[in-house]
Amino acid sequence: MKFSVTARSGTNEASAPVKRLALSRHSARIGFLFILPWVIGFVLLKAIPILAALVFSFTSFNMLHPENIRFVGLQNYLNILHDRDAGSSLFGSVGYFVLAVPIEMIAALGLAALFSSDWLRGKRLLRTLFFMPSIIPAIAIYFIISGLVNPGSGWINRLIIEPLDLPPPAGLYMLFPVIFALWSIGPGFLIMLAAMQAIPREIYEAARVDGAGPLMRFVSITIPMISPAIFFSLVINMISSFGGVALLDRGLPYSQSLSPMESYISYQMFSFLNLGYASALAWVMFLVVMGITVAIFRSARYWVHFPEEDENVEI
Amino acid sequence: MWKSKRPRRSDFSTLSLRLWDFTGMALLNLFVWLAALIYLSPLTYMFITSVKTSEQLSDSSAPILPARPVMYEYEGRARYVYYVPTESGTRQLALIDSDRNGAFFIDPQDPEAGLIRWEGSWRTLRRVYSPHWEFGNFVTLWERIEYPRLLRNTLILVFLGEVGVLASSIAVAYGFSRFRIPGGKYLFLLLIATIMIPDSITLVPTFFIYANLLDWLRSFTSTSAIYYIPLLLPHFFGSAIYIFLLRQNFKAIPRDLDEAAMIDGASPLRILVSIILPQAVPTVVTVGLLHFFNAWNEMRMASLFLGVSQERTIGFSAQAFQSYGFTPEFLQASALMLMIIPILVLFLAQRFFMQDMVVTGIEK
């Protein structure tokens, strides 16, 4: 190692600024070559489709009569205002975000807090067990939950309703989003747990000496110290609750997305082949998601304590 | 250990303090393990149901655990055994015949005693069960859904995508982390921004493009392998979130070694393969695992493009299982067969996975 350091400092001092510039120009070209796959993919699979979706949204494009395509201005967007289904599906999507994300965040945070205790035994196995449901395919979860709520052989009835003589429950379908949310805590849990383990113990010791109780220590030390991890998993959960794919994808087809807006878009698209209207709907959803994203990022400066990242600024 | 540093109150002896700690520890462990049990109870339900017989599932008074009815063979026919309340306590008797007012039973322990007449409705009696795990359900399902073929298709798809996504994401992450690209900072911000764009936005044009591409390809070939193209192609351009994870990790690797290698005349590709990658194994494995899970569960592209294909993936064909008229035990068995491979992979590779989430967490 010593050798490499000497070698480097030797060349650095010897090389004239001119030579360095040539090297950096050369290295820029090679670097660009390395990121080229992403650039091509970005243009072909992101930029062009996004622009095309924008153009489509101002037209009456329908796959059944592609030749009848014409420019209709804001007509599609005005139609959304009168489309009750669009309104309720957008409302449903925001509702799912409001329901699922707090469940995922609070469960992951609570679990991570329990896991950072020295008293817990079998942590490695428990960690894998709590992470496991996050990789189960959505269709398998769908089979499992439908089985659980099955009036004949389901456990909800056999183990809870019948022994306690309860009236047949009405809103059992609400279990789907709740179990999906509870079973998606894996990535958030691991990220928060890792952040908690990185907090220096001395801080807790000092707080304990000053007389801070466990709750006080959690609220005033743990939460601020792991706030970047909370922020990161909040963004990830937000994206996936709206149907974007962040770290782990359970694989819900568009038509069965938990985000009703997404299934409504695919319904307009594949049942009516209304590509123009579907694109306009997608843009409305995009604006809502972007609005929430911007709000989360704006709020970050009030509650997220980012460590100084001098290294990360320079690319 | 912090336990010893805890300030001790004078009215507590060391012994009672230890007792206190022990109780806390026991309560915490009890709580977390109980939570895990409840958290995974739907999976327990799935497994237990998948090894039941359909006979047990259709009997509402059957036990919760897998079992099958106890039978007794009488005059060449198998008869159910019931719990029958008699004057001498509840007896286990086999039902032979019944009429309007009652039924005839026989005692399997003592068949010589002849038929026993019992008054009452035998339909209210409970059947006798003995524990039995019906693993034959899996064998039946294996053949019925052509599991090996689905597995082969899925694994080919996952493997090809894995190669593509790892090669491209590693190259791009290397480009972003080690070279001064003009405007590289803005390109990287653009990359992060693409993570936030919901899929629905690109759904319409992407479907349009691939549908036309497939139409065009169909004029040359009739192989159903072309329907995999929309599922595979995007992976060869790198995935934004994986590039982000890898680039964070590459940046944390000291540059000394690769600069020395550069001076010795190593090419950038050589530096990536021989110096950077060996130091980034956990992150590369994590990214590989994330892709494995995601590709295994992938349904969005599959539901759009594999509908007409005969060569389906397991996740996609599972969608149709409910319309096959599967009874609960087969449905749950199929759920298990659908997820068993990702779960095995997770358990085998959990050390890597957990280790790297730590890195990711600290790096933010």
The predicted-structure confidence for A97-120, as pLDDT tens digits, reads as follows: 999 999 999 999 999 999 988 889
Residue B169 has pLDDT above 90, yes or no: yes
Distance from CA of A251 to the nearest CA of B (A): 5
Burial letters B187-218, b for 16+ CB under 10 A, else e:
bbebbeebbbbbbbbbbbbbbbbbeeeeeeee
Interface test with B, best of A252, A263, A267, A315 (most B CBs within 10 A): A315
Render A178-221 in DSSP notation, one character per residue. Answer: HHHHHTT-HHHHHHHHHHHHTS-HHHHHHHHHTT--HHHHIIII
- d(CA A169, CA A46) in angstroms, rounded, equals 45
Q: Tell me the pLDDT tens digit for each residue of A134-173.
A: 999 988 998 998 888 887 778 888 888 878 877 777 777 7
Question: Does pLDDT of A313 surpass 70?
Answer: no
So what's the pLDDT on residue B266?
87
Residue A314 has pLDDT above 50, yes or no: no
Asked whether the beta carbons of residue A114 and residue B31 sit closer than 8 angstroms, the reply is yes
Please report residues of B whose CB lies closer than 8 A to that of A249: 293-294, 297-298
Of A131, A137, A286, which is closest to B198 when you measure between CB atoms? Answer: A286
Residue A2 token pair: 């010593």
> Which chain B residues have a beta carbon less than 8 Å from that of A245?
199, 294
Check pLDDT > 70 for residue B181.
Answer: yes
Interface test with B, best of A2, A11, A12, A46 (most B CBs within 10 A): A46
- pLDDT, residue B173, reads 95
Rounded-to-integer distance, Cα A130 and Cα A190, Å: 10
A157 φ/ψ angles, rounded to the nearest 5 degrees:
-75, -45
Chain A residue at shortest CA distance from B194: A46
At residue B86, φ and ψ (nearest 5 deg) are: -130, 180
Mutation target vs B (from A130, A134, A144; most B CBs, 10 A cutoff)? A144
Residue B91's H or E segment, with its range, is strand B89-98
**Least confident window among A104-113, B140-149, B306-315:** B306-315
Chain B residues with beta carbon closer than 8 angstroms to that of A252: 299-300
A108 or B259: which leads in pLDDT = A108
Is residue B33 less than 8 Å (CB to CB) from chain A? yes
* B360 and chain A in contact, CB less than 8 A: yes
Residues A29-38: b if buried by 16+ CB within 10 A, e if exposed: ebbbebbbbb
**Quick check: B12 pLDDT over 60?**
no
The mean pLDDT of chain A is 83
pLDDT level of residue A291 (50, 70, 90 thresholds): very high
> Is B204–A130 a contact, with Cβ atoms under 8 angstroms apart?
no
List the 327-356 stretch of B: residues with Cβ below 8 A of A: 328, 331-332, 334-336, 338-339, 342-343, 346-347, 350, 353-354
Mean pLDDT of chain B: 85
- B249, B363 in Cβ contact below 8 A? yes
CB–CB of B68/B55 below 8 Å? yes
The three-state (H, E, C) secondary structure of A230-275, written as one string: HHHHHHHHHHHHCCCCCCCCCCCCHHHCCCHHHHHHHHHHHCCCCH
In this predicted structure, what is the pLDDT of residue B27? Answer: 93
Averaged over B286-302, what is the pLDDT? 90
Q: How confident is the model at residue B11 (pLDDT cuts 50, 70, 90)?
A: low
How far B1 CA lies from chain A's nearest CA (Å)? 9
User: Residue A293 and residue B350: Cα distance in Å, rounded?
Assistant: 32
Question: Do residues B94 and B81 make contact, with C-beta atoms less than 8 angstroms apart?
Answer: yes
Rounded Cα gap, residues A73 and B128, in angstroms: 73
B180, B201, B294 ranked by CB distance to A286: nearest: B201
**Widest distance between CA atoms in chain B:** 100
Secondary structure of residue A80 in the 3-state scheme: helix
Mutate which of A5, A13, A38, A190 to test chain B, going by most B C-beta atoms within 10 A?
A38
Q: Which structure tokens are listed for A312? A: 């990360």
Q: CA-to-CA distance for B281 and B156, rounded, in angstroms?
A: 23
**pLDDT for A301 beyond 70:** yes
Q: Which of B2-11, B51-60, B271-280 has the highest mean pLDDT?
A: B271-280
Whether residue B204 has pLDDT greater than 50: yes
Q: Label residue A22 by pLDDT band (50, 70, 90).
A: low
Place of tokens 């890792």: A194
Asked if A155 and B41 touch (Cβ cutoff 8 Å), the reply is: yes
Contact B179 A124 (CB under 8 A): no
Helix/strand/coil for B252 = helix
Q: What is the dihedral of CA B141, B147, B148, B151, to 10 degrees?
A: -150
Q: What are phi and psi of A258, to 5 degrees?
A: -70, -20
Q: Does B361 touch chain A (CB under 8 A)?
A: yes
CB contact under 8 A, B194 and A46: yes
Q: How far apart are the first and last CA of chain A?
A: 25
**Which residues of chain A are within 8 Å of residue B203 when distances are taken between CB atoms?**
254, 265-266, 269, 278, 282
Q: Which residues of B touch A292 (CB under 8 A)?
A: none
- ipTM for the predicted complex comes to 0.85
More confident residue, B122 or B40: B40
Is there a contact between B41 and A140 if contact means CB atoms under 8 Å apart? no
C-alpha distance from B216 to closest chain A C-alpha (Å): 17
Q: Which tens digit of pLDDT belongs to each residue from B328-337?
A: 888 899 999 9
Q: Which of residues 106 through 165 in chain B touch A, CB cutoff 8 A?
A: none
Residue that wins the pLDDT comparison between A10 and B256: B256
A42 contacts B194? CB cut-off 8 A: yes
Q: How far is A94 from chain B (nearest CA, A)?
A: 14
Cβ(A192)–Cβ(A127) below 8 Å = no
**How far B329 CA lies from chain A's nearest CA (Å)?**
9
B299 touches chain A (CB under 8 A): yes
What's the gap in Å between the CA of B84 and the closest CA on chain A? 23
Residue B129 amino acid letter: Y
Give tens-digit pLDDT for A35-92.
Answer: 999 999 999 988 999 999 999 999 988 878 878 888 998 999 999 999 999 999 999 9
pLDDT band at B361 (very low <50, low <70, confident <90, very high): very low
Q: Is B61 on the interface with A (CB under 8 A)?
A: no
> Given CB atoms, is B260 within the 8 Å cutoff of chain A?
yes
Query: Closest-CA residue in chain A for B233?
Result: A41
- For the ranges A128-142, A271-285, B2-16, B139-153, the lowest mean pLDDT is seen at B2-16
B15 and chain A in contact, CB less than 8 A: no
B286 confidence band (pLDDT: 50, 70, 90): confident
Alpha-carbon distance of B350 to B345, in angstroms, equals: 8
Q: Give the H/E segment covering residue B106.
A: strand B102-106
- Most confident option among B101-115, B159-173, B252-266, B269-283: B159-173
Mean pLDDT of B197-217: 85
Higher pLDDT, B309 or A89: A89
Task: Return d(Cα B258, Cα B67) in angstroms, integer.
Answer: 63
Considering only CB atoms, B201 lies closest to which of A50, A145, A158, namely A50
Instruction: Calculate the dihedral angle through the C-alpha atoms of B167, B170, B171, B174, rounding to the nearest 10 degrees.
Output: -170
Q: What is the DSSP string of B194-251?
A: HHHS-HHHHHHHHHHHHHHHHHHHHTT---GGGGGHHHHGGGGG--HHHHHHHHHHHH
pLDDT at B200: 80
Q: Look at A20 and B50; give whichever has higher pLDDT.
A: B50
The residue type of B195 is I
Tokens of B62: 């059957």
pLDDT of residue B59: 82
Write down how long chain A is.
315
Shortest distance between the Cα of A14 and any Cα of chain B, in A, equals: 13
The pLDDT of residue B198 is above 60 = yes
- By Cβ distance, the residue of B176, B205, B353 closest to A53 is B205
Q: Which residue has the higher pLDDT, A8 or A276?
A: A276
pLDDT in tens, A183-229: 999 888 988 888 888 888 899 999 999 998 888 999 999 999 888 88
Residue that the structure tokens 């995009």 belong to: A286
Cross-chain residue pair A249–B343, CB shorter than 8 Å: no
User: What's A15's DSSP letter?
Assistant: S
pLDDT of B356 reads 53
* Cβ contact, residue pair A37, B40, below 8 Å: no
Helices (H) and strands (E) in chain B, counts: 16, 8
**Inter-chain contact B198–A32, Cβ cutoff 8 Å?**
no
Band (A3; pLDDT cuts 50, 70, 90):
very low
Residues of A in contact with B298 (CB under 8 A): 249, 251
**pLDDT confidence of A12, banded at 50, 70, 90?**
very low
Residue with tokens 């997305």: A257
Q: How confident is the model at residue B354, as a pLDDT?
A: 59
Q: Which of B32, B178, B303 sits opposite A120 (nearest CB)?
A: B32
Give the Cα-Cα-Cα angle B299, B285, B362 (nearest 5 degrees).
Answer: 100
Distances from the Cα of B230 to the Cαs of A37, A134, B162, B172, B265, in angstroms? Answer: 17, 25, 15, 21, 40
Res B183 pLDDT > 80: yes
Q: Are A13 and A5 in contact (CB under 8 A)?
A: no
Asked if pLDDT for residue A174 goes beyond 60, the answer is yes
Residues 6 or more apart in contact with residue A289 via CB below 8 angstroms: A238, A239, A242, A244, B196, B198
Task: Find the helix or strand (DSSP H, E) in which B140 lies.
Answer: helix B136-144
Question: What integer pLDDT is reported at residue A232 of this predicted model?
Answer: 86
Tokens 């060996």 belong to: B278
